[in-house]
Amino acid sequence: MRAAPGRSALRRRLSRPSPPHPGPRRAPAPRCVPRRPSDVALVDAHCHLGDGAFDADREAVLARARAAGVSHVVVIGTTLEDSERAAALAQGRPGLSATAGVHPHEARTWSEDSAARLRALLARPEVVAVGETGLDYHYDHSPRAAQRRAFESQLALAAELGKPVVVHARDADDDLAALLGGVRATVVLHSFSAGPKVFAAGMAIGAYFSFSGMITFRNWTSSVRLSDCPADRLLVETDAPYLAPAPHRGRRNEPAFVREVALALARARGEPFAAVAQQTTANARRAFGAEIAAIEGTL
């Protein structure tokens, strides 16, 4: 979600206050929760595996993900340099794919050279999507006009290259909904928590709604119910190392914890865990293309 933050930024993110309003009562536990991680395969649709928080134990993190039933991780790029790291991590690793993009926090750096470098990264076979891009009017680390310019440029590039685009949005519902109406690429709305206007715009273009560990928080609330999202448009993610789900909240997040997100999604929808796991994995294959389908299961 953030542009290649260091450990101090990670600590700030982990200590970020929770939403102020109490959330809905928890639904009953899902039926048919598998006893063994090997019973299902999960895809973590959004993970900052190149973040410095993983430098000391990245291979151990991937081993734990494999043991938890995670078959594939999409490694997110947030700057050109971070995108190069993501691509390098995914190169030759069948269970990893990468994205390449410029986060709205870094939109002030966008230029014609940025577009050219991004185009070169997107030509690499392990880079399956544009992003993380979008609009963040909560922090406004880049001027809003610069955010819109960089976002629109990356949307156009995704459409030109036939790549999906991973979208970050915070407190920008009006502008995001308006821009989504003209998108000609597959859209993944990452860590979705926007309101009904963005939900309706996403539905109109067949976007995917990716949910993170936020849905496990006791006081998480949203004007869009998890049960409102069509099953064939759901994804699960960690946004690791951020947003660790309960019962791991406050710790560094990691891909293995995507299982907790899928469990929470199953509870909220009143569906079997195995069904949600299978559906979200199938959705990830469609959203990110044949690359996921070909290499899924070999993390």
Predicted structure pTM score: 0.88
The DSSP output letter for 171 is S
* CA distances in angstroms from 131 to 5, 58, 118, 144, 154, listed in the order given: 16, 22, 10, 18, 8
In the structure, what pLDDT confidence band is assigned to residue 222 with cuts at 50, 70 and 90? confident
pLDDT, one tens digit per residue, over 182-204 is 999 999 999 999 999 999 999 99
**pLDDT score of 31 more than 80:** no
Helix (H) or strand (E) holding 178: helix 173-180
pLDDT, one tens digit per residue, over 5-14 is 444 444 444 4
Residues 10-23, mean pLDDT to the nearest whole number: 40
- 74, 190 Cβ separation under 8 angstroms: no
Sign for the CA dihedral angle at 207, 213, 216, 222 comes to: negative
Residues 58-81, mean pLDDT to the nearest whole number: 98
Residues 238-249, mean pLDDT to the nearest whole number: 98
In the structure, what pLDDT confidence band is assigned to residue 42 with cuts at 50, 70 and 90? very high
Residues 54-78, mean pLDDT to the nearest whole number: 98
Residues 116-121, mean pLDDT to the nearest whole number: 98
Q: What are phi and psi of 191, to 5 degrees?
A: 45, 55
Residues 234-257, mean pLDDT to the nearest whole number: 98
In the structure, what pLDDT confidence band is assigned to residue 39 with cuts at 50, 70 and 90? low
Residue 299 is predicted with a pLDDT of 81
**pLDDT score of 255 more than 60:** yes
Helix (H) or strand (E) holding 130: strand 127-136
The DSSP output letter for 221 is -
In the structure, what pLDDT confidence band is assigned to residue 245 with cuts at 50, 70 and 90? very high
In the structure, what pLDDT confidence band is assigned to residue 26 with cuts at 50, 70 and 90? very low
Residues 139-145, mean pLDDT to the nearest whole number: 99
**pLDDT score of 33 more than 90:** no
Residues 54-74, mean pLDDT to the nearest whole number: 98
Average pLDDT of the chain, as a whole number: 89
Output 33 or 248, whichever has higher pLDDT.
248
Output 150 or 13, whichever has higher pLDDT.
150
In the block, which residue shows the tokens 């090997």?
38
DSSP 71-109: EEEEEPP-SHHHHHHHHHHHTT-TTEEEEE---GGGGGG
In the structure, what pLDDT confidence band is assigned to residue 221 with cuts at 50, 70 and 90? confident
- 208, 233 Cβ separation under 8 angstroms: yes
Residue 96 is predicted with a pLDDT of 97
For the chain, which domains are there? 37-295 (3.20.20.140)
Residue 294 is predicted with a pLDDT of 73
